[in-house]
Amino acid sequence: MNWTLKKFEDLTVDELYALLRLRTEVFVVEQNCVFQDMDNKDRYCYHLMGWKENELVAYTRLVPKEVSYPGYPSIGRVVTSPVARGGGIGRVLMEKSIEETRRLFGNAPVKIGAQLYLLKFYSSLGFEKASDIYMEDGIEHIEMLLL
């Protein structure tokens, strides 16, 4: 696995296409969720990409404070390719994302909006529930904090 981290303006056209394609493949097609993925936050974020043989198989965007949540950095658009699942890549992706978020934005608490079915996974990484369950784009979510 080859990991790269880039600011939005440093992404190549091919990298941008690959990350948007992967996000659409999983969030729109696989999860059958029609939503506005391009939400004007990408340009302020860092983009962590996991490549396997020139194919993007894992991705997150690392969000500075104030962009998604007042006072908190965040990790969003957490996605792994269906072809890469089952081997622990999601855990490695999140561990790397947490490490890079701390490096980029300091050792502040990290806030995420997690799909509810992933509560146990994020809890295993140290995140704690920080809200009631809410609906977003027709999917149950919960805010979580990593202190």
Cα dihedral 65/13/113/95 (nearest 10): -80
> Whole-number mean pLDDT of the chain?
96
pLDDT digits (tens, 9 = 90+) for 77-88: 999 999 999 999
Q: Assess whether pLDDT exceeds 90 at residue 72.
A: yes
pLDDT digits (tens, 9 = 90+) for 8-29: 999 999 999 999 999 999 999 9
pLDDT digits (tens, 9 = 90+) for 80-135: 999 999 999 999 999 999 999 999 999 999 999 999 999 999 999 999 999 999 99
Which residue ranges form the domains of the chain, and what is each CATH number? Answer: 2-146 (3.40.630.30)
pTM to 2 decimals?
Answer: 0.96
In this prediction, residue 34 carries a pLDDT of: 87
pLDDT digits (tens, 9 = 90+) for 30-48: 998 888 899 999 999 999 9
Could you tell me the strand order of the sheet in which 55-63 lies? 2-7, 46-52, 55-63, 74-80
